[in-house]
Amino acid sequence: MAKKETKTGRKGRRAIKPMKIAALVVSAIQDLRETKGSTPKKIAGYISYASSIPEQRVKRQVNAALKRGVEYGILRRYRGHYFLPTGDELDRANRIAVRFAKLPTPAPTTFAKSKIKFSRKMKDSKRSQGIDNRTRKSKKVQKTRSPAVSASPSLTDEIAGEIASVTE
């Protein structure tokens, strides 16, 4: 009997190119026009809204692009807010951006490889922990309280009664 080969890879999915996300980040900062600069959360929200890509997928790429932008001088960072440099800094940033665009893009890692690395890290961290009682810390158990019950009817019961009488 011949075995059927099944494909486990995703079909039709394309990753966003690093330069595209960097350009989106710069345009998002320009369009948001925040006086103190834009936060990564606002930038990711703007990009996901403008390009109809889920925000969870964009977050990591935006953070990486912001980090690279600050590293290469394309962006400035102050107290977690990112903004574009002005004046002479802008000319310098443009020259660096051109060089940055010529850099080779890193090869995308597959999901399986990253999962294997993660599982190895977990195993190593579990091995390093001793079973000795002195190294273990006891967990505090939180007491759960039941909500106070009053004899008088609550406001929600009154509202529910009014709605029921209106619908009848």
Domain assignment of residue 85, given as a range: 18-102
Q: How many structural domains does the chain have?
A: 1
pTM: 0.44
Alpha-carbon distance of 115 to 137, in angstroms, equals 29
Instruction: Summarize pLDDT for 61-106 with one digit per residue, the tens.
Output: 888 888 888 888 788 888 988 888 776 666 766 777 777 777 666 6
135 lies in some domain: no
Dihedral, 103, 20, 113, 126 alpha carbons, nearest 10? 100
Which distant-in-sequence residues (6+ apart) come within 8 Å of 99 by Cβ? Answer: 72
124 assigned to some structural domain: no
Q: Quick check: is 166 in a domain? A: no
23: in domain: yes
What is the domain-level CATH number for residue 70? 1.10.10.10
